[in-house]
Amino acid sequence: MPDVSPQSRAWAEIDAGALRHNIALLHRRYASGGTRLMAVVKADAYGHGMALIAPLAARAGVTDFGVATVAEGVALRALLPDAAIFLITLTLPSDAEIIVAHRLTSLLSTQEMGCALANAARARGVTAQAHLEADTGIGRAGALLGDVPRLLAALDALPGLRVTGLATHFARADEDLDDAQAQYGEFAALLAGLGTQADSLLIHADNSPAALRLPAVTRHALIRPGLLLYGIEPAPGMFAAADLPLRPVLSLKARVLLCRPLPGGATISYGRTYAVPPGGGVYATLALGYGDGFPRRLSGGGHVLLHGRRAPLCGRVCMDQLVVDVTDIPSVRSGDTATAIGADGDAQITAAELAAAIATTPHEITTCLTARLPRLLIG
């Protein structure tokens, strides 16, 4: 039986050249003062494909990687045996043995988790490494600021465990600069109060929006770019304001399955929410839907690009298909390629644009792309 082409229906293109460009820009901007880049590759590298992104980033000089789950860490360790791999979300004490076995660095919020890591490490005759998170306002994890000195001392006293870093996370750096600065002020006060106790720790705070907007003093020894790595703007205008011309790494493409004229009054898709205007029009059915992770909330309000022009979505996005109006775009044929995210000629649709249209975060747009979409490496 012949293989089915991955480009026969819908697919995501991952631009290795854009990724290398972004890493080079980030290194020039942030690493000149000795700051390291942690490439955040959680959630399958924000939907881009961790198995593609992580080795490319490593070849581009990245040595530090951030994941969210233990399973992600195990998979990444198989790809990159010598990388520093950080678990940047909460884990359970029951995960301690596998964390230690795969040399993952946990981000701790409690002494309980530290004890579990220490016990697992001693059983293996090794020393586990961990960072402590300080909660400066994110409210979902981390030790309360007043508990940090005591907790650091208690963790350091555990045989088998070495605390090598201290971190915090910004809650609104993409929305409210004053709030982010106030939050960092609390972290800075904590560091000052720790004095020499913090001298041996790897300090890190900046996510993508904080790296763009906050002064260099916040960067310390490590920053944690996620969106920046993938060339996705955290909020409109942030790249231009920071003079950082990053390039999108992912494009989403789909084939035209059918193109035909429809008479005025004909209805399109479930619920018959769209009616062809008087005089009729020409409509194209694309092989893309919410089963691929394309947002159903864009029904009747989004666009794709065909032949370098915008074609509006008509009616509801289905699980496997959607329909666009190509009345004003000549020569559209079945087999043509439509661009749902990315550039076609001078026209472009970004993940940030789609996010703004449905009042969500850009992270959601690419992270929700499903495994049904092949990720094809280009460049």
Catalytic option among 30, 253, 270, 283: 270
Q: Identify the helix (H) or strand (E) that includes residue 134.
A: strand 128-135
Mean pLDDT on 182-207: 93
This prediction has a pTM of 0.94
Instruction: Give the model confidence (pLDDT) of 53-71 as tens digits.
Output: 999 999 999 999 999 999 9
- Pairwise CA distance, residues 32 & 51, whole Å: 28
Q: Which pairing describes strands 64-67 and 36-40: parallel, antiparallel, or unpaired?
A: parallel
Whole-number CA gyration radius for the chain:
24
* Tokens found for residue 157: 């006293």
Catalytic option among 42, 184, 283, 290: 42
Instruction: Give the model confidence (pLDDT) of 328-374 as tens digits.
Output: 999 999 999 999 999 999 999 999 999 999 999 999 999 999 999 99
- Pairwise CA distance, residues 142 & 90, whole Å: 9
Mean pLDDT on 242-266: 97
Q: What domains can you pick out in the chain, each with its CATH number?
A: 16-240 (3.20.20.10), 250-349 (2.40.37.10)
Nearest to 201 by CA among 154, 157, 164: 164
- Pairwise CA distance, residues 317 & 295, whole Å: 8
- Distances in whole angstroms, Cα of residue 75 to Cα of each of 227, 265, 372: 21, 53, 20
* Tokens found for residue 294: 């394309």
- Pairwise CA distance, residues 56 & 80, whole Å: 11
DSSP 3-state of 15: strand
pLDDT for the residue 2:
59
Kindly tell me the burial class for residue 33, based on how many C-beta atoms sit within 10 Å of its own C-beta (0-12, 13-18, 19 or more): exposed
What residue has token string 């996620």?
226
- The percent of residues above 90 in pLDDT, for the chain, comes to 90
Q: Are 173 and 180 in contact (CB under 8 A)?
A: yes
pLDDT band at 281 (very low <50, low <70, confident <90, very high): very high
Contacts 24+ apart (CB under 8 A), 212-219: 212/238, 212/239, 212/241, 212/242, 212/244, 213/173, 213/177, 213/180, 213/238, 213/241, 213/242, 214/173, 214/177, 214/180, 214/181, 214/184, 216/33, 217/188, 218/184, 219/30, 219/33, 219/35
Instruction: Give the model confidence (pLDDT) of 304-334 as tens digits.
Output: 999 999 999 999 999 999 999 999 999 999 9
102: Cα within 13 Å, side-chain hemisphere: 21
Q: Is pLDDT above 90 for 186?
A: yes
End-to-end distance of the chain based on CA atoms, in angstroms? 30
pLDDT for the residue 5:
86
pLDDT for the residue 276:
98
CB contact burial 177-195 (16+ within 10 A = b; e otherwise)? eeebbebbeebeebbeebe
pLDDT for the residue 324:
98
Mean pLDDT on 77-94: 98
Q: Is pLDDT above 60 for 1?
A: no
Mean of the per-residue pLDDT values of the chain: 95
Instruction: Give the model confidence (pLDDT) of 38-49 as tens digits.
Output: 999 999 999 999
Q: Tell me which of 232-236, 246-250, 346-350 is least confident.
A: 232-236
Q: What is the DSSP string of 34-87?
A: TPEEEEE-HHHHHTT-HHHHHHHHHHTT--EEEESSHHHHHHHHHH-TTSEEEE
Asked about 270 being catalytic, the answer comes back as: yes
